[in-house]
């Protein structure tokens, strides 16, 4: 993957200790970017990832914060900037993903999901823009924003909000900062499930297959390097977002 433009850049990735956040951190570091790994509870994983990056010749720092806690977002940005001096890239990846149906939804569940999945990205992005320098933001959402995730209503609402915020921030931060989103589909199984989970659901998209973390990395790299693209959501889902419209 040709991504020489990332060499020497600095990036803050939220929720970077595991899964897609970790994959993105490793990929950015491999292309010469200095990465700041945000984590909440997964300290061991975050520090192990930072060491892996260092062992490969890269540079990684860690920042801990509960993004749902009031007043923590400015501190995350302050700590990141204290380590890197400036940031070129922000990837809002951290998410809460709990199985809560409409019937079981509470105001607290909605508030918690909105805090982490939408409000924290908004506040972090404003802090990022306050640097007064060019940059790029990528928000991680979900292909289900185009459908209805009946098992995860608070999550669904918060990710739809983040998709709208992507468009809003693309206008508000232009022309110096581009803001886009990536919407994964069948990429990784939920915690506690194996690859067979993805294979069983492969027929739910037009391509009848599932992807992997490398597909998300490619999508993020494209958006980071696409200088004439902003306010877009790139669906990496085998066409799953077409369901309910053209695809039956």
pLDDT at 238: 94
pLDDT at 150 over 50: yes
**Structural domain includes residue 226:** yes
DSSP state of 152: B
Find the DSSP H helices in 92-204: 107-114, 120-129, 153-172, 195-200
Question: Could you tell me if residue 204 is inside a domain?
Answer: yes
Does residue 248 belong to any structural domain of this protein? no
- For 226, residues 6+ apart whose C-beta sits below 8 A from its C-beta are 178, 180
Give which of 86, 200, 187 is closest to 133, Cα–Cα: 86
Among 65, 43, 45, 176, residue whose Cα is nearest residue 120 = 65
* 246 domain-assigned: no
- Give the domain CATH number at 234: 3.40.50.720
Whole-structure pTM value: 0.95
- Count how many domains the chain has: 1
The answer to which of 29-38, 59-68, 184-193 has the lowest mean pLDDT is 184-193
Q: Which domain, by its residues, includes 221?
A: 4-240
Would 78 be classed as within a structural domain? yes
Q: What pLDDT band is residue 244 in, cutting at 50, 70 and 90?
A: low
Average pLDDT of span 123-144: 97
Distance of CA 24 to the CA centre of its chain: 9
- In a domain, residue 195? The reply is yes
Instruction: Tell me how many degrees the CA angle 40-46-47 measures, rounded to the nearest 5.
Output: 125
pLDDT at 245 over 60: no
CA 2 from chain centre, in angstroms, equals 21
pLDDT in tens, 70-120: 899 999 999 999 999 999 999 999 999 999 999 999 999 999 999 999 999
Does residue 111 lie within any of the structural domains?
yes
* Active-site residue flag, 197: no
Catalytic residue among 148, 155, 222, 247: 155
Residue 245 falls inside a structural domain: no
* Contact in structure between 31 and 220 (CB atoms under 8 Å): no
| 30/90 Cα distance (integer angstroms) | 17
pLDDT in tens, 161-200: 999 999 999 999 999 999 999 999 999 998 888 888 999 9
């Amino acid at each position: 993957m040709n991504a020489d433009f990332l060499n020497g850049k600095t990036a803050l990735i939220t929720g970077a200790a595991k899964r897609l956040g970790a994959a993105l951190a490793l990929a950015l570091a491999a292309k010469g970017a200095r990465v700041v790994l945000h984590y909440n509870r997964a300290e061991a994983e975050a520090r192990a990832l930072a060491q892996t990056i260092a062992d490969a010749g890269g540079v990684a720092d860690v920042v801990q914060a509960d993004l749902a806690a009031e007043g923590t977002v400015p501190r995350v940005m302050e700590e990141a900037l204290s380590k890197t001096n400036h940031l070129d890239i922000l990837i809002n990846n951290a998410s809460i993903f709990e199985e809560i149906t409409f019937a079981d939804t509470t105001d607290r569940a909605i508030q918690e999901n909105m805090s982490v999945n939408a409000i924290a990205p908004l506040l972090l992005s404003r802090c990022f823009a306050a640097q007064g320098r060019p940059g790029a933001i990528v928000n991680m959402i979900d292909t289900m924003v185009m459908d209805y995730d009946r098992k995860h209503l608070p999550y669904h609402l918060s990710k739809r909000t983040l998709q709208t915020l992507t468009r809003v921030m693309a206008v508000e931060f232009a022309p110096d900062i581009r803001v886009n989103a990536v919407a994964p589909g069948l990429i990784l199984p939920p915690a506690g499930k194996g690859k067979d989970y993805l294979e069983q659901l492969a027929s739910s998209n037009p391509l009848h297959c599932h992807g992997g973390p490398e597909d998300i990395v490619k999508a993020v790299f494209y958006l980071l390097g696409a200088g004439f693209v902003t306010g877009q959501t790139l669906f990496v889902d085998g066409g799953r977002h077409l369901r309910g419209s053209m695809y039956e």
